[in-house]
Amino acid sequence: MNRHSTQRTKLWAILSVVCVGASGVLAAEGDGRATYPAGFAPGTRVVLLADAPTVGEGLKSGMGGTILCCDTDDCTGSLLVSWDLWTAGKGEEGHCATSLVGQYPPGSAAWVDPQAVLLGRPFDKIGILRQSQAGCLFLETEEAELFNLAVGPEFLEQWPVVLPGNRVRVRGLLNASQPAPNVKRACPQHDGDVYHPILTDAGWTGESCCDPFVCGFLYGDRVVLVGESNPNGAVDLPRGASGTIICCNARADNSVLVSWDLWANGGSDDDYTMCNERLAGLFPPGSTCWVPVQDLAKCIQTHCGTVQQLSICSTGQCQDILGVGLFVKNEGLYYLPDLVPQIPTQTGDFLVSGLYAPYAALPDGLVVTSTVGPQKALAAVILHSILLSCPQTGCCKPAYAQGDRVRLLVDEPGGAEGLFADAGGTVICCNANDPCTPILVSWDLWTNGHDDDDVCTCCKPIPWYRDKSAWWMACKEIEPIKKPDLYDAGESYRGFTPPSVTAGMAGQGLAITGLIANRGGSQSDVFFVEIYASLDDEITAEDYFIGLVGMDIEAGGISDLSWAGEFPTDIPAGSYHIGWLIDPDNFVREARENNNTAVIEAGKLLVTGP
């Protein structure tokens, strides 16, 4: 093991994969929820799905890059993409309608129109495998989405173990662009086509090292070929091609079996039998070949740090500026060889999105940085780096922390069915890489959401929250709540029995139910709920008093309103609305005092004459 191996083993625990997701650029203060109907956003990874039409000289299907900006605000037009390891671009940034995500390798950018060129976005979902009578394979997700798996009959011939009805994980490249009306399809697109799918049993985790000596790669990692084209005699496999790790063979020069995106010149599909222990998934036939680990890199994102200019010194002699580095506290100094040093050095906090090359050689000698302080050892090489400004802590201004209580300010944000203004929720985490909706909130008593917390960047561990209660929110769609805020949870929890009683008769029982909640950010302390019978639907303290219930509700908590007793004999015959006043004595200093009245709408209590 060389002097860098131990450092690299530790690095894997702190580098996070970002081949999916959006950029580290935040929406400007005051912006609402930005929408990207085509699924593209600055910072998103994309992969070419076809050779034609040509995007740039040497760019072929299976090669990927990162969106730098768009020529429309919602990214429905053309995209400026920094293509991995490509150097024939011209950097035409003048057409950008959105801000550039940050400094990127010079000569790597070219415009592409998704309406003319098929582009895929990384896809990774779990669902049930379905097969139509025509033989088409689909993934039906837990969110009721249906995706067509773009495979031919040879896929099922190679993998007869693929059975409809199985619960599977599918990784691949999603294209949701609408096909031209005159295009005849054998299989319907539904919510999108998944190109080059890799199928794995949904219960298989596989989160372990593929290369056991350095632990630079995991089973199923998305990787890029950073060595020379056509490794090990492969045909038409260019440098910059992207793929998925299927397995490793530590006995054969630590080689890795990779399924290369949209490539069909591979070796024997049975080569996986030489793997150490397991498969990352079932792959499209003809797409694999063995590649030395040193020829691979994977997409990563660092934590925030400071940009440094690097020089190498030995025997008292220092070279000119070697290049750019990023120093991250408690992690080390990342060497970014593809970025050009800027004078003066950029100030502020940045993170890097790029290609982590765990087997790349590090420069020898003492590393001297442009800042005063202890000298730092190089920890890793990140190729094709893109500098992104670090977001504010908590992703918004003001910042939100995990566990903060918030109020919703808009109805059904981003299509959240049944989630309306004034709802209360708890902050689960934030995604600093999402410029539009960075805050994940678990909403009280709401069940039409999702559990999509896998892109959280702050903070972990993720706390428990109810299934289907969470939704990603824009900063301007919520506000913090510090004080208690008591309210009635709604009609679906209200009721009374029996439906009728007799006026003036002693000993008649009545039971009333409801649900009281505290959407606020602190405990309420003791308060009372007073229950009344009213001839109209406006409940006041002048109505007929029935009884009261004492409560004390924690922040974000709920409490059953349950009263059972004798119906008062002084209430005359009539038809009455039943309702209640929450904290009518104002014992609790609330964030809002205008939501403390409730009335049962489903029916009236009939009080008959004696």
- Residue pair 130/139 in contact (Cβ under 8 Å)? The answer is yes
Buried b (16+ CB within 10 A) or exposed e, 239-258: bbbbbbbbbbbbeeebbbbb
For the segment 65-89, the average pLDDT, to the nearest whole number, is: 92
> For position 541, which CATH number holds?
2.60.40.10
231 belongs to a structural domain = yes
For the segment 176-200, the average pLDDT, to the nearest whole number, is: 90
CA atoms within 13 A on the CB side of 418: 11
Q: Give the model's pLDDT for residue 29.
A: 32
- Looking at the fold, whether 412 and 464 belong to one and the same domain comes out as yes
What is the number of other CB atoms lying within 10 angstroms of the CB of residue 397?
Answer: 12
- Looking at the fold, whether 475 and 564 belong to one and the same domain comes out as no
- Whether 573 has a pLDDT exceeding 70, the answer reads yes
Return left, alpha or beta for 257; rule: phi > 0 is left, psi -120 to 50 is alpha, else beta: beta
427 belongs to a structural domain = yes
- Looking at the fold, whether 195 and 130 belong to one and the same domain comes out as yes
112 belongs to a structural domain = no
- Whether 2 has a pLDDT exceeding 50, the answer reads no
Q: ω into residue 459 within 30 of 0, thus cis?
A: yes
For the segment 223-245, the average pLDDT, to the nearest whole number, is: 96
- pLDDT tens for 332-342 read 889 999 998 87
- Looking at the fold, whether 574 and 602 belong to one and the same domain comes out as yes
Q: Which of 442, 462, 480 corresponds to the end of one domain?
A: 480
> For position 194, which CATH number holds?
2.40.50.140
- The mean-pLDDT minimum among 101-105, 219-223, 550-554 falls in 101-105
Q: Is residue 14 very low, low, confident or very high in pLDDT (cuts 50, 70, 90)?
A: very low
Q: Is residue 582 very low, low, confident or very high in pLDDT (cuts 50, 70, 90)?
A: very high
Report the alpha-carbon distance of residue 395 to residue 456 in Å, rounded: 11
- Looking at the fold, whether 157 and 135 belong to one and the same domain comes out as yes
- pLDDT tens for 378-403 read 788 999 999 887 765 557 777 888 99
- Looking at the fold, whether 495 and 411 belong to one and the same domain comes out as no
Q: Give the model's pLDDT for residue 391.
A: 60
Report the alpha-carbon distance of residue 297 to residue 381 in Å, rounded: 10
453 belongs to a structural domain = yes
Higher pLDDT pick, 508 / 366 = 508
Q: Which of 429, 458, 480 corresponds to the end of one domain?
A: 480
- Looking at the fold, whether 557 and 587 belong to one and the same domain comes out as yes
- Looking at the fold, whether 190 and 235 belong to one and the same domain comes out as no
Q: Is residue 101 very low, low, confident or very high in pLDDT (cuts 50, 70, 90)?
A: confident
- The closest alpha carbon to 494, from 604, 593, 394, 579, belongs to 579
∠ Cα 540 541 544 (to 5°): 95
- The closest alpha carbon to 77, from 108, 51, 111, belongs to 111
Report the alpha-carbon distance of residue 63 to residue 84 in Å, rounded: 7
- Whether 5 has a pLDDT exceeding 90, the answer reads no
56 belongs to a structural domain = no
- Looking at the fold, whether 176 and 261 belong to one and the same domain comes out as no
495 belongs to a structural domain = yes
- Whether 549 has a pLDDT exceeding 70, the answer reads yes
Report the alpha-carbon distance of residue 302 to residue 351 in Å, rounded: 6
For the segment 585-589, the average pLDDT, to the nearest whole number, is: 91
474 belongs to a structural domain = yes
- Looking at the fold, whether 490 and 528 belong to one and the same domain comes out as yes
Report the alpha-carbon distance of residue 263 to residue 242 in Å, rounded: 10
Higher pLDDT pick, 515 / 346 = 515
Q: Give the model's pLDDT for residue 577.
A: 97
Whether this model's pTM surpasses 0.85: no
- The closest alpha carbon to 167, from 142, 133, 193, belongs to 142
- The mean-pLDDT minimum among 259-273, 302-316, 509-523 falls in 302-316
594 belongs to a structural domain = yes
Domains in the chain, number? 5
What is the number of other CB atoms lying within 10 angstroms of the CB of residue 415?
Answer: 8
- Looking at the fold, whether 528 and 589 belong to one and the same domain comes out as yes
- pLDDT tens for 163-174 read 899 999 999 999
Instruction: Tell me, letter by letter, the H, E, C secondary structure of 195-249.
Output: EEEEEEECCCCCCCECCCCCCCCECCCEEEECCCCCHHHCCCCCCCEEEEEEEEE
What's the chain's length in residues? 610
- The mean-pLDDT minimum among 237-251, 446-460, 536-550 falls in 446-460
For the segment 500-505, the average pLDDT, to the nearest whole number, is: 95
Q: Give the model's pLDDT for residue 365.
A: 65
- Looking at the fold, whether 494 and 602 belong to one and the same domain comes out as yes
- Residue pair 567/508 in contact (Cβ under 8 Å)? The answer is yes
Read off the amino acid at residue 256: V
Q: Give the model's pLDDT for residue 344.
A: 59
Q: Which of 252, 278, 298 corresponds to the end of one domain?
A: 298
Q: Between β-strands 558-566 and 323-328, what pairing exists: parallel, antiparallel or unpaired?
A: unpaired
Kindly report the average pLDDT of the chain as a whole number: 86
For the segment 266-293, the average pLDDT, to the nearest whole number, is: 90
Q: What percent of the chain has pLDDT over 90?
A: 53
Domain assignment of residue 553, given as a range: 486-608
